[in-house]
Amino acid sequence: MSVLFLYLGFDELLRLHEKIGRMIEASFDTGGIFYYAWVIPYGIALLILGLIIVKPFLKLPFRFQKKFFLSGFIFVAGAVGLEMLSGWYIDFNQIPNEKINTTLAIVAFYTTEETLEMIGLSYFIVSLLKLKETYPITAKSI
């Protein structure tokens, strides 16, 4: 998970998802909910990651499964869900690139998207700290 968060941090800093999206847009005709084409490979990666972590996830106590699932759901709803919704809105309303950042609805989408990402990440951190507090790791348990 730490490698994933490290990648996501670099992705946000270097805008890797936007570069990947532009490469996909150059190869395929994307639009509607795939206006931001990066959601396609990242969605596939998310499904693969879900399959990889399902076994250790199910070993967690149920109350932490709920907390981690909810935090992930909130994060993904913002990062992918609202990105797809705003892409659809831009495409449907034929908003030109130079007006995207000044369109009130798009600003609201972006603000809500970033807020959900931060809420999901914050809730994950709080849940992780609560897990560590409840089940401390000792030299004996390693």
What is the predicted pLDDT for the residue at 141?
Answer: 57
The Cα–Cα gap between 118 and 125 comes to 10
Given a cut of 90, whether residue 142 has pLDDT beyond it is no
State mean pLDDT over 56-80: 95
Given a cut of 80, whether residue 138 has pLDDT beyond it is no
The Cα–Cα gap between 38 and 127 comes to 29
- The whole-model pTM stands at 0.88
The tokens describing 114, both together, are: 């970033």
